Structure 1
């Protein structure tokens, strides 16, 4: 913090003392910083659009899954590029409600998708349930993926 303040003060002194030399350098630095910021925003929006094209469904299916892993997850990659990494958090809701009933604790399972999911392909697996608030049964809840974070290979 103090380093930034010293740097800003030095830049202002140089700009006031030597405006003919400092102004073009300052404008070039601002232009470069703007281009980097524009690239980062563009890349984030592109990844967000790709994540929206993923179809991720979750169902409580103890009959189809092994004991201890009753959450059936199906991911369908509707993108034109391969998905190389995917992480998310599982939220649990009663139908028609907006209160998340899954507890977000340090010991909660970390959810990750397949290592590599080619365009147009599907991935299915059984995963453990997140810890639920007391008094709720998983068969009465809807499970959704939230806070998706993914990387795509270009």
Structure 2
């Protein structure tokens, strides 16, 4: 914090004392900072569009999965580039409700996708249940993947 204040004060002193030299340098720095900010926003939007093209379905399927991992995940990469990493958290909702019934604490399971999923490919896996609030049964709930974070190869 102190260093930032010191830099701003120094820049203002230089701008007032030597305006002929400080203004072009300040404008060049502002243009450079604007270019970097534009590039970061573009990359962030591109990643958000790629994550939106992923099709992720989670269902409670104790018949198809082991007892300790009763959630069936089906993932389809609808992008033109391979998926290299994917992380998410699972939320549980009663049908027609908007209150998350998963008790996501620090000890809750961490969910990760396949290491490499080619463009257009499918992947299935069985996942453990997140801890649920008391009084709710998993067979009556809808499960959704939220807070997706992923990386794609360029």
User: Above 0.5 in TM-score?
Assistant: yes
Question: Which category of TM-score, normalised to the shorter sequence, fits these structures?
Answer: over 0.9
Match of 2:129 in 1: 129
* 1:95 equivalenced with 2:95 (yes/no): yes
TM-score computed with the length of structure 2 as normaliser = 0.99
Q: Structure 1: any 5+ residue segments left out of the alignment?
A: none
Match of 1:59 in 2: 59
**Cα deviations across residues 65-112 of structure 1 (Å, max 9, x unaligned)?**
012000100100000000000000100000000000001100000000
* 1:2 equivalenced with 2:2 (yes/no): yes
Find the residue that maps to 1:95 and give its secondary structure: coil
TM-score computed with the length of structure 1 as normaliser = 0.99
The correspondence of residues 1-154 of structure 1 with structure 2, limited to 5 A, is: 1-154=1-154
Distance 2:53 2:84 in 1: 15
Aligned residues: 154
Find the residue that maps to 1:134 and give its secondary structure: coil
Q: Structure 2: any 5+ residue segments left out of the alignment?
A: none
